[in-house]
A and B are shown apart, each in its own frame.
Chain A
């Protein structure tokens, strides 16, 4: 085998079980690729010692037989996940130096399954962003470029480090989190696959909270099968998260038959946006044809409140963030501002938060504070929650009409250049999540699958949205789309 880092999880699993390769070899190959890829700024806390220890343990377990699918597989972990004894900062200066004394449920489950942690991955600060430009560690660079143009492109956000690392073959898969599109948008921008499961599928315990009613963890992987394998290990009921679902987790990989004959796929007319690039429209049309050729029945559907999803999101998510981020006060962990003579506790809070939070985080915390403040709570927050009810009902109605899954574009464009949006008002950046945010508001599973490239050679993805708790069916639909699309392009290595 020439380059072990190019293996998919399923291939590596089979090779490990056959004894063709060891986890130690796979891990060393990834560690070496990571060290050569500092230009991407994806891995921000490398953990080679932990990785080597876990790889040795995984090799022993594989030798003993009966090792789970992820045993010995090297992964990257988004910085939002608390990992015991390892820096977990949510890419924020306010958590400088924070090393949790505990392990998040999702990473515990991955490690129990034998996965190897290569390090922590860059992201937008507190997962607030769509371009990975709000991180205290600096921007992540997309391994993809526009033809021969060497302008640095965004990998998307907030899980930009995860997307960049998987696309550049620095790890076999990575964890992501998705509050408004933070798994699916970066997956689409980097030509990889990412799934946000149904709200409640993955425990949120130990994941730094942004907007608790929207946050969900999920895998970012090289293909649908790998996403299914990783998701399997990440899901499950956790008594430590009261919103985690006590439902059995099916064998997602076993459900990948590629047979979608007779399935009904909804095409929502509201996702035809004015000013949408022709290439996105064409990609969507091709996707429809692929599913139809695979035997699915396409129906036009209407999700009438789509237009109001982003504005509702930009009330609800900041409101929850302002409450969740109140804990960063310079008392229990992280950064505390240097105080002047005579400063009291209020000055300590105000200076600590001013120094520790970046501009976008401050903006959202303050917007959240405003919409929750006396006199505005009903006009903004309660109204947004009512609109959320209507958005969810839109989906319930089409599912009741027999729709199995919904096909939409994943993003309104291909990856844009870093810095291109800095002059725009914040709302322009928020529009990146226009196709993904409805899914979080309705608590549904959604997956982004790469299906083509634009004229500059950049990857483009489509999104499939499934019924609640039916990730297995959704993954199978995505698998059929993936097979039909046959997307195999990889970024040319320049780093």
Chain B
């Protein structure tokens, strides 16, 4: 499997990371280096093996479905790059 420039651009788009077109060939190359390394996994016989979901065989704890905190709008917004009137502000989303 070899990654071309078009695929590299598509992956960057999916990851929502802007990559300048002149940087795409180098990016594709480093994907290929890493994926070439990962290809070794194809040597392993995984027939009938369950993919690991949890490394420790334990049941995840359930908690009561109740409100345990809240009323901290100021704290929630304290680190926002742009917050106005109690909301996160972003560029226009709907035309």
Contact = CB atoms under 8 A, between A and B. Distances in A.
A107 to B, nearest CB: 18
A305 interface: yes
Given A345-B90, A351-B18, A443-B56, A330 B46 contact: no
A365 B80 CA distance: 23
Contacts of A300: none
Contacts of B33: 425-427
A311 B41 contact: yes
A357 B53 CA distance: 29
Given A311-B37, A425-B30, A369 B15 contact: yes
Contacts of A365: 15, 17
Interface in A428-453: 430, 441-443
Interface string A361-396: 011011101110100000010111111111010000
In the complex, the 7 A-B pairs of residues with the closest C-beta atoms, listed nearest first: A443-B55, A385-B51, A333-B79, A336-B81, A354-B18, A350-B18, A386-B46
B78 A390 contact: no
A239 interface: yes
Contacts of B7: 370
B44 A305 contact: yes
A315 to B, nearest CB: 6
Interface of B: 3, 7-8, 11-12, 14-19, 27, 30-31, 33-35, 37-44, 46, 49-56, 58, 60-61, 63, 72, 75-76, 78-82, 88, 90-93
Nearest to B80: A332
A390 B44 contact: yes
A152 to B, nearest CB: 25
Nearest to A246: B61
Contacts of A339: 91
Contacts of B92: 344-345
Interface in A79-105: 97-101
A99 B18 contact: no
A320 to B, nearest CB: 12
A334 B18 contact: no
Given A311-B38, A329-B16, A386-B46, A99 B79 contact: yes
A384 B18 contact: no
A346 to B, nearest CB: 7
A479 B58 CA distance: 30
A297 to B, nearest CB: 28
A425 B36 CA distance: 12
B31 A367 contact: yes
Contacts of A425: 30, 33
Contacts of A488: none
A288 interface: no
Given A339-B91, A353-B18, A366-B15, A243 B81 contact: no
B79 A314 contact: no
Range for the number of chain A residues in contact with chain B: 35 or more
A274 to B, nearest CB: 15
B48 to A, nearest CB: 9
Nearest to B58: A245
Interface in A378-416: 380, 382-390, 392
Nearest to A382: B51
Central interface residue in B37, B60, B81, B88, by most chain A CB within 10 Å: B81
A389 B50 contact: yes
Contacts of A371: 38
A67 interface: no
A308 interface: yes
Contacts of B54: 213, 243
B27 A384 contact: no
A322 B15 contact: yes
A22 interface: no
A331 interface: yes
Central interface residue in A351, A362, A366, A388, by most chain B CB within 10 Å: A366
Given A199-B56, A333-B80, A335-B81, A314 B37 contact: yes
Given A200-B56, A242-B61, A308 B90 contact: no
B79 A386 contact: no
Given A98-B79, A200-B58, A314 B52 contact: no
Contacts of A305: 44
A71 B86 CA distance: 41
A312 interface: yes
A268 interface: no
A348 interface: yes
A425 B29 CA distance: 10
Contact of A386 (B14, B49, B81, B88): B49
A236 B34 CA distance: 37
Interface string A217-256: 0000000000000000000000100110110000000000
